[in-house]
Structure formats: structure tokens, C-alpha cells
Structure 1
């Protein structure tokens, strides 16, 4: 009965969580939706975003026109964590029925609403909308190469009528272009594009105002110009009257529904990605050559020569890595902590690998909004099984006996650190009244995932791992530790660790630029094929640089390789964080202290996770290498 209780608790938690977050597994927009002429199209509004503040806000946090009732769309876990807030809108489209100068509503600004609009214009906020799961985009290049940007600016700040004073103008007239593709065989009409061109127009009308009967004298195609040359742009000031209008036009397109995201994801820098791959491959080939030379020439010669020695006296004349065979598998200091970090690294590695495989298969494309974040969270939770197993196996090899103690540390140390930093950052976002703050219900769901699924799975993995037979060392360990001779300066632990992290970082830093750009400049990232190749190169680079430096360390008769192997490749996280700081000061235009704290807080979390991932790869590569070479030596 006692053994069945944890299992029952685990399955109850799983069922409850799957029921609560069942919509997290729904892949929106994966099947085409067909529309008939005159059929109503649902336009939804999403968050307001800014690359200057990194703080999203809901669309209706500004005094825009509202529908009779605001209805929130069902959002998955990833969308909530990203700060998406999808709601209905007052815009009314009908398929293939163009509309000219539709009046949405009239607003009279007061001091507060005018201030809100001015602040959002100063911070360069953009309005995001969605039609048939396609994001609203603005074409920013008028050449043959179409380049788009998500959303349109709330407004613009500039001079007007020759004055030197900077004024704020709101984009109150929107010209929408809905692109559709009509299948000649079936006659099905599907939406393949959603674009907008914003204008600032100070509308005029005659007589008394009525939304149903009033005709605007300013709403015609010739009056819509850029704000800087417009005869009457709409200024944002207290007590100003703002009339929101929109046009809708439909454009036939040769783009098929299956390829409708290709235009949005078109990038002109594929050559840079290929340069990144070639650069990384050169590093891998260099390291592979060194490893091959060590393994095939030096080690093979050393092992053959050592095994041919007939007397113990002759063996003692040998120097280098053979002499430390009696100490090389001596448990390191803080071995419990090493077990915890190794297990956590296995958990993170499994999550990353499976996430990338799903992305390659198309399940986590940008059309599945929030899918990437949802998959990462859920996979992290279920990979707890492997974290517990790995840490327990290593712990038992180090002659540990309190497996429950190491299990608790594995289940709580890394997640608690991340959750604490995330909680502080979320409090900062909540203090700014941003929609990016994770609601209490979602925080509770994350805690349930952690305590209800992840922790029990870590215990299950640890129990299974600890029941396995102990990993036997290939050589016996001496009772008295051998004295380590003085090392040359270039083999000092701090120096070799810092040098070891350069090459793994060098293999990924070009692709890292695109990842940071997609996160902090709100651009699409979709080239998961490149990313997967870079990830494989990262694995090989971490393994090879750690093996090379571990071999040099053992040749210097320094047998304390356990922690150094972890820190050698893990130190690449330090360079990642330094590069993030460089990116912040050179590519971003963040000025608010809260936004800067958010950036460095999240990048600290990312760097910490990268340290655990790369450190674990290097550690297990060195662990395999040392067992391989010492199992090849005949020792009585």
C-alpha cells in the first residue's frame, strides 16, 4: 500500500494538469480554413510590444475602439509565458468584399489617455493583430525583396508644418490588405497574407456627429499620406477628437496556403547562417584532428609500450597519465554537488534535443504560437526521470548511500534557483502593470508541474538508478592520495578552464546573434535545421576540447579531473553572458532600468542553463575517455 501511494499521486497530478492545460497541446492553424465570399472574418488583437522596453501591454490598455464585449481567446501555456493576450476586436471584415473608409469609433482624449498614447509612441510600441492565425505585418522594404515587420507603430513623433517643436501623431487610419489564394480545382478560398499600411489623418466632417450617417470629408485615397507630408495629421493632445477608420482590400495571390509563412519568414542572411556552419565545422575538424592524434598515435603507442613492460620497476620509470591510475577515479570534493549538476545537465540535454527534433518536424513552427515554450516546459518536467537516474548512478559510484538526499537536491536545486530569479523578474513586470507578468493561475500550474510531476519522476528515476549495479572502476584506487607535482602556468585550473570555454562558444556565437535578435527584437526564428546542426557541432566541440585538455592534465600527473572537466566546457556560459552584455549595449536601445534588469535577469537564467548543458556534455565525454584509456592498460 505504501508503494502504491506515490504512483497514484503521480498519475492523479498528471491527469489534473492535462485536464487544466489540455489546450496547450492544440496546434492552432495547422489545418487550412476555407472561406466563402461574404463570410465574416474574425480579426483579433494581441499585445502591444516594444523593443525599447521589452514590456508588453494589452491592446485595450490604450484608449482604442472596443467591441461591445471583450472576449479573451484560449491561450496555451507558452503564450501566457510569452505575454500574449489575444482578444476580439471591433474590426469587421467580409471575405472578398472591399471596404472603404469604415468608421470604427470616435474618441475624445483626456489628459490621461493622451499621456498614455504619448508614452507608447515615445517607446515605439507596435500594435499586433491576428487574422486566421496570421500576424499583421507592415512591409518595410519597397524593393522586389519583401521584408516585413510585425505590427504597426502606435504613432510617430516628429515636426509638423515647419515648426521645430516635436509633436506626437497617432495612426488612426489603417489600410488592410488581405491576400487570398483560390484553388482553381476545388474553388476553395484561403487567406495567405495579412498586411497593413497605417496613416495619421485628422478627419473632418460636416454637421452633427453620427457613426451611422456621418460622412468624412477627409477620408479618400488622396488624403492618406505619410505624417511628415500630410496636410492634417492627427495630433495627440488633451481634449483632441480622434476618429478611427480603416479600409479593407482583398488581393488575389499565387501563394498557396502551405507556403503562406514563407514570405513572412524570408530572410536575406542565409549566407551568414552557412558561414556560421562552416566556421563551426572548421573548429570541429581542428579539434577532431587533435583528438585523433591523441587517440590513434600517442595513446596507442603509450598503451602498447606500457603493456609490454615486464617488471614493476620498468613501469615505475614511466611518467605521465599512466602513473596516476591509482588516483584517477578517486571521488572528487563535493561529489554530491557534481552528481546533482550532472543529473540536471542530462535533464536539460534531453529537453533540448527532443525540442529541436519536434521543431525540425514542423510542430513548433511560428504558426503554432507558444508551442515552443510549451514544449520546453513539458519536456523539462518529464525529463526529470533521466535526471534522477543519472545523478543516482553517479552517486552510487562515488560510494554514496543516502539516495533520497541526492534526489531532493536534484529535484530542487536548479529549478528552485531558476524559479526564484523568475519570480523576482515577474514581480518587476507586475509592478509595471505589464501583460507580460505571469498570472497567479499560471504560476500555480508551473508549481504543480514541478511538484506534482517533475519531483516524483526524479524520485522514480533515482530509485531505478540506485537499484542498478554499481559502475565499477577499470582500475583500483589507492588508499593514500598521490601528491600532485607543480604544474606549468598554462595548465593552471583557472587558465585551462577559461581557455576551454572559448571554442564551444566560438562554434555557436554567430547563430546566437539570430537567437537573441528573434527574442529581443521580436523577429521570427524558424531555421531550426541550422540550429540543430549547430547544436550537434556544440556537442562535438564540448566533448573534444574537454578530452584534449583532460589528456594534457593527466599527462601532467594531475588526477583531479572530475570538476575541471565539467567547468572546462561549462565556462563557455561565461562568454555567452559577456556576449549578451555586448549585444545589449550595441544592438538594443533599452533605457529603462526595469527593462535592463529584465534583460540581464533572463540572460543570466539562459547562461546558467547553458553552463549546465555544456558542462554535462564535457563531463560525460571525459568520463568515457578516462574509463576507455585506463581499461586498456594492464595493471596488477
Structure 2
């Protein structure tokens, strides 16, 4: 199979995947239903989609310590075990780093609060050598400050506690317990409570208060609810030995360093659910302004139309190389329709009404600049008597193709674009613009635009060297297959860089993304021009004013075309991204 056919096959697969969506195990959101409110609709979804459930399973991972490089599995410390214990399928990286994730006996029903629920009781008879070894190992784990690592819905269960200056510090693990030395010094977590005051004593955290926050279906576009976070507070409680009087109000669970007799350790938990009514922040706060029409929307829509025309022309030309320049010119002439359509459709979406001006600028502005530059360069060639000068009849033929075919096709595309309804956006625009807060240096327009063009240029500058060699140093260029691959990489890089910076700016509550998305990836053309200057002075031995003007004149044509091409790619990638995130949250 030819490489081009392979590419088409892969491209088709990616397109279908993007349209249909995809699922990565462990990463797709899980929706939860209340057990006592399982309606027929919710029951139907539970049966048809395994991602909607009412039981919340808590997973446990290995235990580790900053005082020891030896991690241990959860079961080694003789904690409560799940009767139907299952191990999740770890990937190679998790196995290499010692991850050991398994189910636990801590299971909750969604939105069903529990108070002081017993999990199990462990009994240690110090006269039994085997049981005494297990207890000593547990004590040693407390002394070395080994940490639990629990997981709920693929999120770490965090332990947050107060530190100096009234701030909270959150840790993705919590200790087994803590130790008070023989001289009364509280180590590690024992400092959080004055009740841990017995010397030479271990305090085991055998109870946890778990708080799970969630988003409800009432304000979202999906059924059920989704978990947002899980946090806990470890406690040490000496439970009453009587089964029927389970209480979590007892003194701390102290274990003397020299333990004798029989020791009973009861593990328990409490769980409560809280709905998050978290205020909107970052990019969500600008949902009423994110689709506000940009300034100079007419010019932006014209650039987008021309960029679309150049993109399609370049894609087809690189896919079917042959008479390269002839193919490019003919395709550009015939692609006036998509240029007019995109320009008109975007201009209408911006709220523009001067459709005649829009279509005339689309048909004449950028092609006029290119033709004027080309005509001036051709005059210099005529004056110098160069054989590279284009004959006058050929210029007339080019003008005939432009005004006789391209311009009418642009009008046809613009007519179709204006007949269509404006592009629908997922959120309404406020009447009064929101004030943009003071921006940091990196979220201001100019630094962001300058940074945005670096990565795309880095993908092409090696191929650019060979292309310039073929144009100005009369060398043969034959790596068209590799050039097409670089072309695809350029598309991906422009899109990703623009989307990333666009997201940063929206999180900084700056909603002026229209022009910025175009200029971010379009700034790659500036780096191209700088590289062309470097190439001129370092690689060429051109002399004379006429040759210098010709070099930079033709370079400016290439830079303008590249600017429109990369800017359009970045704009539509950002346009897709903004539509996607604001349609998912369904903010009004």
C-alpha cells in the first residue's frame, strides 16, 4: 500500500474516533445514583452502562514511608481485609514502581451517611509468637511513620491538617499511627492532639472520618452525580469491647511499647456526603463574554477565508506533487468557494452585516497584496533583463484566472455562507462586557503570542533549510514524502500550542481569544522571516541591490502565505476547543 493511502486510512480512523468519542479504562467519569432513588430510568442506565452505579468502592495501595525505602502491601500490616478481595490490573509502570492496588472492606452507598461503622476487630495474644510478631511489625510501621494511600473513584483520598499561619496542608496519604517517646516527645502526627500524652506509647489510627464531595445532576448535562473529591481525618479511638454498644467517643487507642496480655483493635469509619456548590472560577467566569464578537471581525474573517483556501491548496499539492507551481496556482483559483464560504460564515457569526465589503475583501485583499508584490519583483526582473521575468501575456492570463474564475467562485461561496445561519455557540453573551483583571507578564497578549510560535517553528526549521536551498541555491529537493509528514506535525503542533495558551488566558479571565488564537500560531511566520534573514547573510553570497530586493520581496510573499495558513489552523483549533469546554459545562 502506498504511504499516502496509509495516511488516508490513519487520518480516517482518527476522524471517526474524534467524532464518535473514545473511552480509556479508568479515566472515563463514573456517575452514581442513590440506592433508594433508583428510578426506572436510572435502573436502565445501570444495566446498559457499567459506568453508572450506586456503590462506591475504596481501594488501598501500598504503604510507604519517608524514613524507609521499603514499601509494603496493605495486607502485610494485618489490617482489615476485603472478603472478596480483587486486584486492579496494574500497568507495567505501576508494577515497576511497586504499586499494589486492591479492594478494601470500606464500601459506601452513594449519599448514604454512616456513623461509627465497624469494619473488623483484630485480636493479638502476646503469648502467641505468631500474633506477637504481627503486632511488633505493626508497631514498627507506626514508629517509621508508614503512610496509607487510599483511592476513591481514581482520586487519592487526601488528609488535610492545619499548619503554621492558619493554612491547611493536604497530603495524599495518612499515617498508620504515631509514637510518643520514652521522654514524652510527640513524634509525627501525635502533635495534632494533646490526648496523645502517654510516654513510650504507640497510638494507632484505627478510625477515619471520610467526607466525599460530589456534583449533582441538577446543574449538569449528565444523569446521576460525579464525585469531586474525597478527604479524611484519621483518629485513634479505643472502642468498647461490647458489640452492641459501638461508640467512637472513647479515649485514644494506645498500645504500650511493651504490650502484654490480649489486645483488641477495632477498625471503624464514618462517612458523609457533601454537594459541592463551588463558585465558578477561572475560565468558567468568562462564559458570558467568551463568544463576544472580536474587534476588526471583518479582517479576521477575511484572513480565515484566505487561510482556508491556502490550507486546502497546500494539502492537495503536497499529496499529489507533480508540476508543483502549476498545481498550486490552479488549485488556488478553484478554491475561491471555500474561502468565500468560511469568511462569510465567520463574519455573520461575528454579527457583521456588510456582506458586500466582506466578499470583496476576501476576493481581493490578500491576493492583491501577493500580486502587487509579485508584479514589483517582475518589474525588477524586466529592468535587469532576466530570463526569470514573467511575460506580459502570462500576467494577463493570471489576472484573467483571478477575476474570471476565483472572484466569481468567492462570491458563490460567500452567498452560501450568508444564507446559512450563524454558528451556534453553547453559551449566551452578556450585554455588558466583563472587566478583565490585571494580567501577569506571561498571560499578556504579546508575550503569549511570541511564545506560541516557537514550538511550531521548531518542527519545520530543518525542512525549511532544504526548501530554501532548493529555491536559492539551485539544489534538488526530493523529500516530498517527509515534507508531507512534517506538514502534518506542523498542523498538530500549531493546534496544541494555541489551545494550551488559549486555556491559560481563559483561566486568567481574559476572554479576548479570537485574534490571539490566530496570531499565536501565525507568529510562526515571523520566526520564518527571521530565519530567512539569517539564511541570507550566512548561506548566500548574493550581491547587488536588485538581487537583495528580489530575495526579500519573494520571501515576504512566502511569509504572508505562511502567516495566513498557520493562523487559520490555530484559530480553528482554539475555536473547536472553546466550543467543546463550554458546551460540556453547560453554563448559562
- Tell me by how many angstroms 1:492 deviates: 1.2
Separation in structure 1 between the aligned mates of residue 562 and residue 499 of structure 2, nearest angstrom:
19
Residue in 1 that maps onto 2:548 = 596
Alignment match, 2:242: none
Give distance in 2, aligned partners of 1:492 and 1:476.
Answer: 26
**Displacement of 1:308:** 6.0
Residue 325 (str. 1) matches residue 287 (str. 2): yes
Structure 1 position 469, deviation (Å):
2.3
> Distance in 1 between the 2:216 and 2:504 partners?
21
Aligned: 1:441 with 2:393: yes
On the 8 A contact 2:526/2:559 being kept in 1, the answer is: yes
Shift of 1:317: 2.4
Residue aligning to 1:342: 304
- Give the whole-Å Cα distance in 1 for the aligned partners of 2:28 and 2:362: 40
- Separation of aligned partners in 1, 2:278 and 2:559: 45
Displacement of 1:633:
1.0
Give per-residue Cα distances to partners, 1:194-252, cap 9 Å, x unaligned. xxxxxxxxxxxxxxxxxxxxxxxxxxxxxxxxxxxxxxxxxxxxxxxxxxxxxxxxxxx
The alignment status of 1:487 with 2:439, answered yes or no, reads yes
The yes-or-no answer on 1:532 pairing with 2:484 is yes
Tell me which of 456, 468, 493 is aligned to 2:420: 468
1:71-82 map, 5 Å: none
Structure whose alpha-carbon radius of gyration is higher = 2
- Per-residue deviation, 1:305: 6.9
Cα offset, 1:357, TM superposition: 1.0
d(CA) in 2 for partners of 1:307 and 1:545?
34
Whether 1:424 and 2:376 are equivalent positions in the alignment is yes
Stretches of 4+ moved more than 4 A in 1? 304-311, 313-316
Q: 1:483 to 1:539 in 2, by over 3 A?
A: same
Cα deviations by residue, 1:554-586 (Å, 9 ceiling, x for unpaired): 000000000000000000000000000101111
Once the two structures are superposed, what CA deviation does each residue of 1:407-466 show, in whole Å capped at 9, x if it has no partner? 101000100011111111111111101111111100000100110000000000111111
2: CA distance, partners of 1:449 / 1:620? 29
Change (3 A) 1:426 1:607: same
Q: Are 2:344 and 1:399 equivalent residues in the alignment?
A: no
Instruction: State the alpha-carbon separation in 1 of the partners of residues 502 and 546 from structure 2.
Output: 43
Structure-1 residue corresponding to 2:509: 557
The aligned runs of 1:312-391 (5 Å cut-off) are: 317-359=279-321, 364=322, 371-391=323-343
Secondary structure, counterpart of 2:320 in structure 1:
helix
Q: Which residue of 2 aligns with 1:578?
A: 530
Show CA shifts across 1:569-621 (max 9, x none). 00000000000010111111101111011001111110111000000000000
Are the equivalent residues in 2 in contact too, given 1:339–1:395 (CA < 8 A)?
Answer: yes
**Alpha-carbon shift at residue 635 of structure 1 (Å):** 2.5
Shift of 1:307: 6.8
TM-aligned CA distance change 1:297 to 1:558, over 3 Å: farther
For structure 2, list consecutive stretches of 5 or more residues without a partner in the other structure: 1-22, 32-153, 155-212, 221-274
Q: What CA distance in whole angstroms lies between the structure 2 residues aligned with 1:452 and 1:307? A: 60
CA–CA distance in structure 2, aligned partners of residues 335 and 306 of structure 1: 38
Query: TM-score of the superposition, structure 2-length normalised?
Result: 0.54
Q: Distance in 2 between matches of 1:608 and 1:310?
A: 46
Alignment partner of 1:500 is 2:452:
yes
RMSD: 2.5
1:219-234 equivalences under 5 Å are none
Higher relative contact order (CA closer than 8 Å, sequence separation 6+): 1
CA distance in 2, matches of 1:631, 1:454: 37
Shift of 1:383: 1.0
Residue pair 1:384, 1:411 contacting (<8 A) in 2 also: yes
TM-score by length of 1: 0.50
Task: Report the Cα offset of residue 402 of structure 1.
Answer: 2.5
Contact 1:307 1:633 (C-alpha < 8 Å) held by counterparts: no
Q: Give structure 1 stretches of 5+ with no counterpart.
A: 1-291, 365-370
